[in-house]
Amino acid sequence: MSPYIQAFIISLLPVAELRGGIPLAVANGISLVTAFFLCVIANMLVIPIFYTFLKTLHNLFYKVRVYQLVFDRYVHRTLNRAEQKVRRYGYWGVMLFVAIPLPVTGAYTGTLAAWLLKLDMKKAFWFLALGVVIAGIIVSIAVMTGVGILRIFVKPS
C-alpha cells in the first residue's frame, strides 16, 4: 500500500489521527510539508463524517448494548475533559481542546463535544478545523525536531 494512503488512513483513525499520520508519513519518506497537508486534510474530514454519523447512524447503533456501553463511557470521558473549556470559552474552547495533540483530544472527541453541547455545527466546524491545523503544526514541529536530533546522533553510512 502506498505510504500516502497509509498516512491518510491513519489520520482518519480515532486513536492515531494526525498524531500518528504525520510521523508515519515522514518515516516512510514523505516530505514534512506534504505529510502535514495530507494528514491535516484527512483529519479534517473526520469532522463532517463523524458528525453525520452522530446525527444518523448513532441512534441505530445505540440500541446495541456493547456500542451503548462504549459510547456512554466515551461521552462521560469527553464531557469530563471538554465541558468546562467549552462552557467557559465556547467555540474557542473546542478549538483549544482539539489543538492540543494528546490522546483523546483530537477531531473525534472535539466533534463529539460540540455535538453533545449542541453547538452550531457549521460554526463549530471552522473552530474544530483550526484546532486540527494547530495540532498538525505542533506534531510537525515535534517530528522535525526529532528528525533533526536523530541526524545529529546518527551519521548516514
Mean pLDDT (10-residue bins), the chain, 157 residues: 96 93 96 98 98 94 94 87 82 93 88 92 97 97 81 62
Distance CA 53, CA 130 (A): 21
CB atoms within 10 A of CB 107: 26
What's this model's pTM, rounded to 2 decimal places? 0.88
Its sign, for the CA torsion 108, 112, 115, 117, is negative
Give me the pLDDT at residue 76, please: 86
CB atoms within 10 A of CB 157: 3
Give me the pLDDT at residue 22, please: 97
Give me the pLDDT at residue 153, please: 66
Give me the pLDDT at residue 29, please: 95
Give me the pLDDT at residue 157, please: 57
Give me the pLDDT at residue 150, please: 61
**Burial category of 138 from C-beta neighbours within 10 Å (exposed 0-12, middle 13-18, buried 19 and up):** middle
Give me the pLDDT at residue 148, please: 66
Give me the pLDDT at residue 155, please: 63
C-alpha cell at 106: 483530537
- Residue 107 makes CB contacts below 8 A (sequence gap 6+) with 17, 43, 44, 46, 47, 50, 98, 128, 131, 132
**Burial category of 71 from C-beta neighbours within 10 Å (exposed 0-12, middle 13-18, buried 19 and up):** middle
CA atoms within 13 A on the CB side of 4: 6
